[in-house]
Each structure stands twice: as C-alpha cells, then as structure tokens.
Amino acid sequence: YSGEFYRHVATEACQATLASVSPVFAVMKLDKEGNTTFFEKKKTELYQELGLQARDLRFQHLMSIATRNNRIIMRMEFLKAVITPEFLLILDYRNLNLEHWLFNELASQLAGEGQLVTYSLPFEFRAIEAILQYRISKLQGRLNTLQPQILETLEALVDPKLLSVDRSKLHILLQNGKSLSELETDLKVFKETILEILDEEELIEELCLSKWTDPQVFEESTSGIDHAEEMELLLENYYRQAEDLANEARELRVLIDDSESIIFINLDSHRNVMMRLNLQLTMGTFSLSLFGLIGVAFGMNLESSLEEDPRIFWLVTGIMFLGSGLIWRRLLSFLGRHLEPSLPPHVPAVLRKSQPAARRVEIKNDLKAETFGLSRSTLTNQ
C-alpha cells in the first residue's frame, strides 16, 4: 500500500507540474451580436472546455482549416481562431498587428454592420467569411504595394540608352522579387488549403456546424436551403479571388524575367560595340606598325644616297600613311563582311500574297511593340 500511495502522489505532482507550465492563451471572445470579452486561460483548460484535444490547439501550420467535435479550428498565418455555432475565439491576439481589424471591423462584421454576404446564414458562415476576407485583403495589400515598386524599378532599368545598370535599382528589384516569391507562396498555400476542402464533400458538410446542432437550420437544409452548397460557394468565391491575385503576381514575375532578358541584351549590345571598337583600333595599330618598318629601316644610321634628296622624307612618309590606310580599310571591309547578320531567307511572291491579312497585321503590331513590353519569345523571334 505504501508503494501505491507514493506512486499516486508522484503522479499527481507530475500532473500539477505539467499543468503549471501549460501555455496561457490571451483569448478574445466575440458572440453573434458582436459583444467582445477578453480573458486569459491555460491551454489545458481551454481545450477541455471546447471538447478538443491538445494537438488541436498547436497551430503548427501557416494556414489550416480543420473541424473537430463540431468546432472549426482556423489558422491564417499569425491569426489563430476557434469557431463554434455561438461564438468566435481569437487566440494570442496581442502583438500581432491585428488590433485595428479586431477592435474596429471584426465585431461589427459579425453583428451584421459590415458587408458580409453571409449575414443571413448561421454564425459560422459569418466568422469564416470575415477571416477569409481579412486574409485576402492582406494579400491584396501586399500585391498593391509591390506592383508599383516593381514597375517603377523595371522602367528605370529597361532603357537601351543606359550603358550600365544602376546597382541600387538591381538591389531594390532583388528585394521586391523575393517579396513577390513569398507572396506567390502564400497565395499557393491559401488556394491549396481551400481546394482540399472543396474536393471533399464531407469536409464541407462538417464546416456547417449549425446544421447538426440547430434543429431549425437542419430543417431548412432538408427543405431546400442547402447550407453545404452555400459553404461551397463561399469557399469558391475566395478561391477565385486568390486565383486572380496569383495571376497578377505571375504576370509580374514574367515581366521581371522578360525585363532581365532585355537588360542582358542591352548590356551585350554595348559590350559588342566596345569589342568592335577595340578590334578596329587594334587593326589600325597593326597597319601603322607594318608600314612603320620603313621608318625603322631609314633610322638605322646607315648611309645611302637617298638621305641627300629633301623630297625622300615626304615621299616615304606619304607611302607609310597611304599604305597603312589602305591596309586598315581592307581589314575593316573584311571585318564587316564576316560580322554582318545573315539575310533572312527569301520568301516566294506566292507565299507573300497568300499570307492572311490578319497575320500581316499581327506581325506589324509585334514590330511596333515597345521594348518594355516584349516577351522573351517575341525578342527571340525578332
């Protein structure tokens, strides 16, 4: 008996120790009328009151939507929420830069003073829509901040008149590109999370909490007002909004890639000009040095009958410069013949006449396109 007693005391002490180190949640509770209350509660007490398990309140994912025991557990980046048919709990709301939305918008939205389209539906619809709307608005705000910065930086970089690239602009573009990649990742996670629910009918049914707790809602669902369809439409709406944002972000990514190609083309063009100039100067130096051997021969302090004639100096000098110029011209013509771009293949007259008018207009428009808006494929074809 003494051994069992000591084991029982040790077990109680261990449980007391674990309960004392359990994390404490700062909870914000909002009911159907928008009334707000604040309190702190340990994790063990909270999940016991909600009928959940400890792993349900881990919130280990950046975004997740799950149902447990007629409760909806949502995680939207830093936002942690638990939705029931009667109230909404926001966990760890402090120091998350959510105060403006929580105190000024969320309560009024749940009470029906906002612009939620699900106000006539059960409470969980309003809570889910408010959280999804907040998340989409944050993603939209990030895109609206990045888009003008990226366009302004690309416009400053993609200029054929520039002989060099501003490194500060490249640094800004690199930072914006990194932020754009993070935004694309967040949008992808948002879409995948919603798509997982849309692909499973049972998950959509589980999100309709009031359908299984409120007899009136259940009767409405059986009489023709299918709340599962309403939930599916709600999720599809925000999935479509996320898809639109992802398309805009993808267009910015393509624009950055195309602009990088244009920058490299401009730099290569300027580099080729410098290399051609260097080659021409080298040819001129070679030509002048070749006929400079005549002057070297006359400067060897060897006596001959030519140095007595005053006209020989001008004659030899003229031959040197004339010969150097002729050789330089021949070298330049040789360089021009081998560096000229190849001519396009000959198109028969029959094919030119049979070419559709729409295609000719399309080619004409492509040729008139500005460099800033060209795609990589158009640049390659031209």
Q: Could you give the CA distance from residue 56 to residue 54 in angstroms, rounded to a whole number?
A: 5
pTM score, whole prediction: 0.66
Residue 6 lies in a domain: no
- Per-residue pLDDT tens for 335-360? 666 555 544 444 444 334 334 444 44
pLDDT over 90, % of the chain: 15
Domain boundary among 238, 269, 300: 269
Which among 269, 288, 314 is the end of a domain? 269
CA distances from 320 to 288, 314, 317, 357 (A): 8, 10, 5, 60
Q: What does the pLDDT average to over 140-168? A: 79
Q: What confidence score (pLDDT) does residue 348 get?
A: 45
pLDDT of 155 over the 50 cut: yes
Q: Mark whether 257 and 204 lie in a shared domain.
A: yes
Q: What is the pLDDT of residues 120-136, one digit of tens each?
A: 788 888 889 999 999 99
Domain boundary among the residues 253, 269, 285 is at 269
- What's the pLDDT band for 142 if we cut at 50, 70, 90? very high
Does residue 63 sit in the same domain as residue 140?
A: no
Give residue 215's pLDDT. Answer: 66
DSSP string, 116-130: -TTTTS-HHHHHHHH
pLDDT at position 164: 58
* 191-215 mean pLDDT: 85
Q: Are 154 and 256 in contact (CB under 8 A)?
A: yes
| Distance in angstroms (rounded) separating the CA atoms of residues 198 and 233 | 9
Q: Is the CB of residue 287 less than 8 Å from the CB of residue 322?
A: no
pLDDT digits (tens, 9 = 90+) for 172-196: 888 888 999 999 999 999 999 999 9
For the domain that residue 109 is a member of, what is the CATH number? 2.40.128.330
Q: Which of 102, 127, 104 is nearest to 116 (CA)?
A: 127
Examine the pLDDT at 90 and tell me if it is beyond 70. Answer: yes
Does the residue 50 lie in any domain? yes
Per residue in 95-127, pLDDT (tens digit) is 666 777 887 788 888 877 767 777 778 888 888
Q: How confident is the model at residue 161, as a pLDDT?
A: 61
